[in-house]
């Protein structure tokens, strides 16, 4: 995905498939009439012209997020237009940007709890024990590269799958969250 804010809101696919990022944001954070305030989404971007950049969307701080792709893309465009440093800076409420690498993000996440890699060949998520403050890693339309996959595998508990078919990233996120919502409901 493009790593500067100079893309057109009228051609999100042309910006390195920025539409994929937008849908992942809304799938992760939006409920029918609210925001998932216990979810954070990291989008690690490696496209031209200024990689790496990592966006962080935090549900508990989020404002101005609407369900349509174009308005989500506006938030991303604004974040990618900022001058970025190693540490997180705030773009709009709930949207942060940094130069963190995949390795650093994974280290950060592994301190919080278990990490799972979404992989079509993985164990069915319905048969995996999910508890605590967990994270899921998944690729965009191109998938993770082999080195990226190896890096995640070293730090993850297990590879999990959500469907017998190959789905879009945002669809996978919906299914993962449905599983977590059901578990949460059972525990209450």
Determine the interface stretch with a second copy among 53-61, 62-70, 105-113, 130-138 (rule: CB under 8 A): 62-70
**Least distance CB 69 / a second copy (angstroms):** 4
Let me know if 63 is exposed, middle or buried by CB neighbors in 10 A (0-12, 13-18, 19+). Answer: exposed
Stretch in the footprint of a second copy (CB under 8 A) among 30-38, 47-55, 87-95, 106-114:
30-38
Token pair belonging to 118: 């979404």
Going from the C-alpha of 120 to that of each of 11, 13, 50, 89, 157, the distances in angstroms are: 29, 24, 31, 34, 16
Question: Checking DSSP bridges between strand 135-137 and strand 95-98, what pairing results, if any?
Answer: unpaired
- Indicate the residue among 124 and 133 with the shorter CB distance to a second copy: 124
Binding mask 63-92 for a second copy (x = CB under 8 A): ---xxxxxx---------------------
Question: What's the angle, vertex CA 147, arms to CA 42 and CA 98, rounded to 5?
Answer: 30
Output the smallest distance, CB 105 to a second copy, in A.
Answer: 24
With binding defined as CB under 8 A, does residue 39 bind a second copy?
no
Binding flags for a second copy, 89-128, as an x/- string (CB under 8 A): ----------------------------------------
Enumerate residues 6+ apart whose C-beta is below 8 A from 129: none
Q: List strands edge to edge, sheet with 158-161.
A: 135-137, 115-124, 158-161
8 binds a second copy (CB under 8 A): no
What is the C-alpha to C-alpha distance for residues 137 and 106, in angstroms, rounded to an integer?
9
Residue 6 near a second copy by CB under 8 A: no
Which of the residues 136 through 175 are near a second copy (CB under 8 A)?
A: 141, 162-168, 171, 174-175
Binding site for a second copy (CB under 8 A): 9-10, 12-13, 19-20, 23, 27, 30-33, 66-71, 141, 162-168, 171, 174-175, 178, 181-182, 184-185
């Amino acid at each position: 995905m493009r790593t500067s804010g100079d893309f057109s809101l009228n051609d999100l696919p042309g910006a390195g498939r920025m539409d994929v990022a937008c849908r992942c944001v809304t799938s992760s954070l939006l409920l029918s009439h609210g925001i998932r305030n216990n979810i954070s989404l990291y989008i690690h971007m490696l496209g031209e012209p200024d990689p790496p950049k990592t966006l962080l969307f935090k549900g508990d701080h989020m404002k101005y997020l609407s369900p349509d792709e174009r308005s989500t893309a506006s938030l991303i465009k604004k974040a990618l237009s900022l001058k970025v440093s190693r540490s997180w800076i705030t773009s709009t409420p709930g949207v942060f940007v940094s130069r963190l690498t995949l390795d650093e993000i994974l280290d950060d996440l592994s301190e919080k709890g278990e990490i799972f890699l979404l992989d079509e060949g993985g164990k069915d998520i319905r048969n995996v024990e999910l508890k605590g403050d967990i994270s899921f890693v998944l690729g965009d339309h191109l998938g993770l590269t082999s080195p990226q996959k190896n890096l995640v595998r070293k730090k993850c508990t297990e590879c999990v799958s959500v469907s017998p078919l190959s789905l879009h990233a945002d669809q996978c996120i919906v299914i993962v969250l449905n599983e977590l919502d059901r578990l949460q409901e059972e525990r209450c």
